[in-house]
Amino acid sequence: MAHITFIERDGTRREVAAPLGLSVLEIAHKNGIDLEGACEGSLACATCHVVVDPEWAPKLTPPTEDEEDMLDLAFGLEKTSRLGCQIVMTEALDGLVVRLPRTS
């Protein structure tokens, strides 16, 4: 099984199991990580905004135009910002590191 490390708002690093095929948002919810996801992953909000570690960002599929439009609504946007509902775990992403932004 793959793993993902969440860096929580207070800087705490939490490595959790990341079942293949689940989104970062779903994995966060299954592990009690404070990542909102108000639209439940339907790409209609930006509350699952995460910042992908710069080393991992090039390994992700590029964001769609719809994701980029939603990201424009996120607070604290950074160069490697993505929506957690749009990152689906694969074997290639085993070890992925994402940070929760300080504001949401």
CB-CB neighbours of 56 under 10 Å: 18
**What is each CA distance from 76 to 2, 43, 71, 81, in whole angstroms?**
28, 18, 10, 9
Q: Which residues pair with 30 in a beta bridge?
A: none
Reported as a pLDDT band with limits 50, 70 and 90, residue 64 is very high
Residues 2-31 pLDDT 10s: 999 999 999 999 999 999 999 999 999 999
User: Which CATH superfamily, name and number, covers 1-87?
Assistant: Beta-grasp domain (3.10.20.30)
Q: What is the pTM of this model?
A: 0.95
The counts of H helices and E strands in the chain are 2, 5
CB-CB neighbours of 102 under 10 Å: 11
Q: Is the pLDDT of residue 103 over 80?
A: no
CA separation for the pair 79, 13 (Å, rounded): 21
